Copies of this chain bind each other. A is one copy, B any other.
Amino acid sequence: MPSTRPAERAAPAREEPAPLHSGVHAELSRRFITGQVTPGSSLSTRGLAEEMGVSQTPVREALSRLAAEGAVQIRSKRKIIVPTMTPERFRELLRCRELLEPEAAMRALPYIDAARLRRLKRVDDSIGSAIANGDLQGYMQGNFDFHFLIYDALPRGILNRLIEILWLQFGPYMRVVYGRVGTANLVDQHEVAINAIGAGDADALGRAILADIRDGMDLIGKSALCMLA
């Protein structure tokens, strides 16, 4: 099972029950990263509470965290909404990714061992089959797992946390873009990255990650034609 838990890497060995708000936040994060929420839609504390079988209190706490992470905006008009998608915001998101992710990958490279590299290849395969099956959600989950399998080789990083925040905001947008232009024309930069890792070539790895992000940048250009709201 791929790690779907973004932040909270707790609950290691002890049989200590994880706080409910932590579970709610993990579930919501998964939905955001896999694009199961659409920009502009609204969430409600009561609705989510009932859906997840908990009270409002842990849901509110989780939503507070998501608000701090920029995944949701809390309007004073008694509305909690997913930020609407604008080309400017999308572009800035990608530029921040360009700034952080190649650096994170290059730094993490020395810590990627053979086992992790095998897992990377396995995840990349699952991404391929997800694309073949038109499984958008599976593709996005795999894409997330792939990138963070690299970055998290260097553990406990502040840098990785920042990148995670970007992905939380990024997921809902990507969903929309993929829904418009499809995933067919995806060039697989992941294979290039895997080869760079195998060769221990940090610069090549950084370039591959950068190219992967730039591909997303191109997608928005292509989808900008039909994008108006």
Q: Which 8 A-B pairs have the closest CB atoms?
A: A68-B68, A65-B68, A64-B64, A61-B64, A92-B158, A64-B65, A162-B162, A68-B69
Give 1 or 0 for each of A89-111: 1 = CB within 8 Å of chain B CB: 10011011001100100000000
With a CB–CB cut-off of 8 A, which chain B residues contact A207?
A: none
- In A160-211, the 8 Å CB interface with B consists of 161-162, 165-166, 169
- In A53-93, the 8 Å CB interface with B consists of 57, 60-62, 64-70, 76, 89, 92-93
A96, B166: Cβ atoms closer than 8 Å: no
A89 to B159, CA, bound (A): 11
A10, B76: Cβ atoms closer than 8 Å: yes
A69 to B165, CA, bound (A): 10
With a CB–CB cut-off of 8 A, which chain B residues contact A68?
A: 7, 64-66, 68-69
With a CB–CB cut-off of 8 A, which chain B residues contact A21?
A: 64
With a CB–CB cut-off of 8 A, which chain B residues contact A158?
A: 70, 89, 92-93, 96, 166, 169
How many residues of chain A have a CB within 8 Å of chain B? 34
With a CB–CB cut-off of 8 A, which chain B residues contact A89?
A: 158
Residue of B nearest to A100 (CB): B99
With a CB–CB cut-off of 8 A, which chain B residues contact A7?
A: 68
A16 at the interface (CB under 8 A from B): yes
With a CB–CB cut-off of 8 A, which chain B residues contact A157?
A: 92
With a CB–CB cut-off of 8 A, which chain B residues contact A62?
A: 64
Between A and B, 9 residue pairs with Cβ closer than 8 Å are: A10-B76, A60-B61, A61-B64, A64-B64, A65-B65, A66-B68, A68-B68, A95-B159, A96-B159
Residue of B nearest to A76 (CB): B16
A157 to B99, CA, bound (A): 14
With a CB–CB cut-off of 8 A, which chain B residues contact A165?
A: 162, 165
With a CB–CB cut-off of 8 A, which chain B residues contact A64?
A: 21, 61-62, 64-65, 68
State which of B57, B66, B96, B103 has its C-beta within 8 Å of the C-beta of A162: B96
A179 → chain B, closest Cβ, in Å? 22
A67 to B25, CA, bound (A): 12
- In A102-155, the 8 Å CB interface with B consists of 103
B99, A103: Cβ atoms closer than 8 Å: yes
